[in-house]
Amino acid sequence: MIYITGDIHGTISVNKRLNTKNFPQQKQLTKSDYVIIAGDFGLIWDGSKEDQYWLKWLDKTKSFTTLFIDGNHENFDLLEEYPVEIWNGGKVHRINDSVIHLMRGQVFEIEGKKFFTFGGAASHDKEYRKEGKSWWSREMPSQEEYEEGLKNLEKHDLKVDYILTHTCSTTALEYIEQRCAIRMERDEMHPYFYGIEQKADYKQWYFGHFHHDFDLPNNQRLLYTDMTKRN
Ligand SMILES: [Fe+2]
């Protein structure tokens, strides 16, 4: 079984969101079931005892395996220190036995379904953050990661079951702006995902970052606190 949810933001809400009361379905799960967090996992943050405690809590006390893509609120210096390995067809950082970071531009096969993953997003509050402490320029993808993403999608004939990203395409961004009556900043990730939206064949696209839960056109779903079972 696979459940997908939005931003956790580390110690701020890991307990609240993944405790048995809030997520009772976990009682039926085992380590061969998955909870995927669509970015802003946030427990690779300062390497503190608190982070370590919650990473261990996920590994040792939770029934499921935790997978996450990166958002914009991750410590990329620390994240990139973890060893890279190939897991289910794509590159990951293995955090511990059952907490795994799904890297950008990869296609994974999980429970017989293909997942294209692409984390990262721009922080809109970076002027209030300190580089290397609470903000990292690696929140934005590199040219190589953009290219690797397209290359890997093409290897799968541009057909996957699910797309998992932290931010979204230009069309999704426009929909959110209209629905929430807000104006968001543009960056190069939105047209990149628009290109994928146009040419890739997918069943459902999940993303986070905007702290709302609703469905969008083009089989897309914005996730925050909802714990959704993949459909
Ligand atoms: Fe975010």
Please, are residues 97 and 147 in contact by the beta-carbon 8 Å criterion? Answer: no
- Ligand 1 centre to CA of 166 (Å) is 7
Q: Token pair for residue 171? A: 């069309």
- Ligand 1 centre to CA of 123 (Å) is 7
CATH number, domain containing residue 50: 3.60.21
- Ligand 1 centre to CA of 172 (Å) is 15
Mean pLDDT of 2-10: 98
Q: Is the pLDDT of residue 223 over 90?
A: yes
Cα–Cα dist 158/26, whole Å = 33
Structurally, the chain folds into a number of domains equal to 1
Q: Is the pLDDT of residue 6 over 70?
A: yes
| Amino acid 95: pLDDT | 98
pTM above 0.85, yes or no: yes
User: Rounded to whole angstroms, what are the CA distances from 187 to 43, 182, 191?
Assistant: 26, 16, 8
pLDDT tens digits, residue range 135-192?
Answer: 999 999 999 999 999 999 999 999 999 999 999 999 999 999 999 999 999 999 999 9
Cα–Cα dist 228/221, whole Å = 10
For residue 128, the enclosing domain spans: 2-229
Distance, C-alpha 24 to centroid of its chain: 22
Calculate the average pLDDT of the chain. Answer: 97
Of 83, 114, 113, residue with least CA distance to 101: 83
- Ligand 1 centre to CA of 137 (Å) is 14
- Ligand 1 centre to CA of 7 (Å) is 7
Mean pLDDT of 51-62: 98
Residue type at position 106:
Q
- Ligand 1 centre to CA of 42 (Å) is 10
- Ligand 1 centre to CA of 208 (Å) is 7
Mean pLDDT of 5-11: 97
Cα–Cα dist 79/49, whole Å = 16
Mean pLDDT of 17-46: 97
- Ligand 1 centre to CA of 9 (Å) is 9
| Amino acid 230: pLDDT | 86
- Ligand 1 centre to CA of 119 (Å) is 10
φ, ψ (nearest 5 deg) of residue 52: -60, -40
Mean pLDDT of 195-221: 98
| Percent of the chain surpassing pLDDT 90 | 97
Q: Is the pLDDT of residue 216 over 90?
A: yes
pLDDT tens digits, residue range 95-150?
Answer: 999 999 999 999 999 999 999 999 999 998 888 999 999 999 999 999 999 999 99
| Amino acid 231: pLDDT | 65
